[in-house]
Amino acid sequence: MPQRPHSSHLSWRPPAPTDHTDPSIPNQEDCMKFIKKNLPVILLAAAIVPLAPVMAATAESADAIMAKVDHATRTAYSTQLASVKITTCKYMLVGGNVKCSEKPRVVVAENIKKGAVVDGKYNDKSLLIVREPISDKGTSLLVYEYGERNRDNDNWLYLPALGKVNRVIASDDDAGSVFGSEFSVETTENPEARKIYEYTYKILEETNYQNRLAWVIEMMPTEEKGRKTSYGKVISWIDKETHLPLKEDLYRNGKIHKQRTQTDIKNIDGVNVMLKVVINNRSSSRVSQMDYMAMRHNTEVPDDFLSQRGLTDFAFRERSLAEYRARLAK
């Protein structure tokens, strides 16, 4: 019997595939016809060619663009408080739209982030805490991201039912899943966690994506990073106005393994953010959607909250969260 779609809150249509292969080369006869027909235009273009290097020199390089992306996604704020909802399910395509083929798993969580420059390097700490479902309440993920070269990030998962803190390996796709969703602590999958020096960049084209002007940029892991990630490359559509990624195709073994799309751009406390993020695992036909329900920036967060005490000390954590929730409600 065919599967019936399951009602869910997912509202996402997978983007059409984009082909970046080279076009076929025209034959010689077609080339000669084109030259004869367009000879005056070709001669005029030849006279203008000396201007091309000057024009190219004014174009922004891929490295310069990605430096701005790094700022927009990671360092545009000192702290961030957010309430999020993560919806995950197996899916089928119905009329070109994603429909859950099973009851979706919904997790409501609170995320607190804080960044700082240490010895000239940007470091980030974040704590993601489950509020719903009740059965998972208090399950928490603490992440320390380091700007120092050759230093891997630290990730700890707290399971209140066991009263135990486990270290999470970022390069392990299964162990690195965020609360059973398609979101992961694997840094290649996260624009907010990537270290700019771990990739090389090339502009593939400039285009219009979802009615926004964008650069299409290819990211290749360096040899060192390649030993730590299963991804061979990332193709990213970067919004020209905000320098935030609009879409990313993540390739594994030459094929798109996951696809990330970000929509609903909004400026909150002077910071441009995307309020809806979708991760489509094309290998397993599972999809996760993260909706930001509330957000604030640049409000005080003590360092001791973003520590293992914040993971395990229930009374301390709840007192702090009550204050953060009040700020989000304003």
Residue 167 lies in a domain: yes
Task: Give me the percent of the chain exceeding a pLDDT of 90.
Answer: 66
pLDDT digits (tens, 9 = 90+) for 230-251: 999 999 999 999 999 999 999 9
- On the 0-12 / 13-18 / 19+ scale of CB atoms within 10 A, 142 is buried
- On the 0-12 / 13-18 / 19+ scale of CB atoms within 10 A, 95 is exposed
Return the pLDDT at 245: 98
pLDDT digits (tens, 9 = 90+) for 23-72: 444 555 554 555 455 545 444 444 444 444 433 444 789 999 999 999 99
pLDDT digits (tens, 9 = 90+) for 249-308: 999 999 999 999 999 999 999 999 999 999 999 999 999 999 999 999 999 999 999 999
Residue 31 lies in a domain: no
The structural domain count of the chain equals 1
Residue 42 lies in a domain: no
Question: Strands, DSSP E only, in the chain?
Answer: 79-94, 97-100, 105-118, 121-132, 140-145, 154-159, 164-167, 199-209, 212-221, 233-239, 245-252, 255-268, 271-281, 286-297
**Is the pLDDT reported for residue 22 higher than 50?**
no
> In the numeric block, which tokens belong to residue 46?
């030849």
DSSP calls for 307-324? SHHHHH-HHHHHHHHHHH
Range of the domain at 117: 62-329
Cis ω on the peptide bond leading into residue 133 (within 30° of 0)? yes
CA-based nearest residue to 216, from 241, 253, 247:
247
Q: Are the beta carbons of 231 and 283 closer than 8 angstroms?
A: no
Q: Identify how many contiguous H helices and E strands the chain contains and give both numbers.
A: 7, 14
Residue 17 lies in a domain: no
Q: What is the CATH number of the domain that holds 280?
A: 2.50.20.10
d(CA 82, CA 296) in angstroms, rounded, equals 7
Residue 123 lies in a domain: yes
- Paired sense of beta strands 79-94 and 97-100, if any: antiparallel
d(CA 252, CA 67) in angstroms, rounded, equals 25
pLDDT digits (tens, 9 = 90+) for 138-196: 999 999 999 888 888 899 999 999 999 999 876 544 447 899 999 998 888 989 889 99
Alpha carbon separation from 287 to 93, 125, 146, 306 (Å, rounded)? 12, 26, 29, 29
- Higher-confidence residue of 149 and 109: namely 109
Residue 44 lies in a domain: no
Residue 22 lies in a domain: no
Residue 237 lies in a domain: yes
d(CA 246, CA 214) in angstroms, rounded, equals 8
